[in-house]
Structure 1
Amino acid sequence: MRELDALGPRLRAARRLRGLTLDELGDRAGVSPSTISRLESGKRQANLELLLPLSRHLGVRIDDLLSPVDADPRVRRPSIRRHGHVIAPLTAETAPMQTYKITYPPVERVPAPRVHDGYEWLYVLSGRLLLVLDETRTELEPGEAAEFDTRVPHSMSALGGAPAEVISIFSDAGMRVHRYADPDEG
């Protein structure tokens, strides 16, 4: 099974990404460092009794450690239409950060600011984008980027009567608000 072959390297990468040694993860998860080392090197068979505490203390899902190894790296997810926006996913649904190409339609009035958990990074590809953070209005041109905490009241809209295309990267919490389409939208 190719999924099990990828488990060790994924486990090691998750541990190293968090800056943990084998001993530190072992202490937190109640698993011996030598067992973790053997799991990471593929010399030990994984089971739920081992994976549950390790994944919990690494902050990853077991599915992330065991996801199938896909020979085709292309992302094939349908675009979402929401309030006139076109939201095209650019990353796999299981990716740790979600990236989207969002097309903002021209509007007559600036949308009301919203607040939600998360963090967002964006880059304007084409058109002009108005970013409102609290009371501050910033006009972004193609080639400009911005980042902000989405707990700050914010809204975005196209300027100048033409759509604005933006690449947006969301933290895990920040993406949930943007990826689910309203049932009434088409």
Structure 2
Amino acid sequence: MKFNQAITLIDQANKKDPNIEEYNGVAYPKEYIYGVRMSERLEVFLPNAPESLRLAARCQHICRWEIPRNAYPMDRVGYLTWRNDLKKLHAKKASEILSSVGYNQDLIDEVQMMLLKKQLKKNELTQAIEDVICLVFLEFYFDNFIGKHKEDKIIDIVQKTWVKMSEKGHDAALALSFSEIGLAMVQKALA
């Protein structure tokens, strides 16, 4: 089946990530575990998600380490340029893999549209992947973020994250199990 072949190739690419993340005592390549988390969270958020969305979720950070943040100026313009270049990389890598297993161009274009974040708030697939990205951040990466930043930056990021999400995304976020400090930061940001 094309879907399983594509997931295998995406995972193989992401298992090459030299950055390691430990989770429940097991070391994983960072972007591989991120892709798995995206797929798992999508399954909970939208169990009947179309195939294109399921593929886009798994490709969300494909080969992200190939464009390191420190290759750009450490300012807002540098950050935004880096993020834009990453989106293009993810869309290109996804296209190559999906094409190699025989997906048609319409599906590939749909996956690329989601990875490039086109029509956010207007296209339900792009919105769904954005919701899942935000949920994965809040569930798995938020506490680490809290530990590295000052309260005003944390509140700003939560507020910016919230604006990107749909009402369904908000409901799912509020149902997550936050740490005590995480919940306090979310509550302050939404007050």
TM-score under structure 1 length normalisation: 0.23
TM-score under structure 2 length normalisation: 0.23
Choose between structure 1 and 2: higher helix proportion.
Answer: 2
Bigger Rg, which one: 1
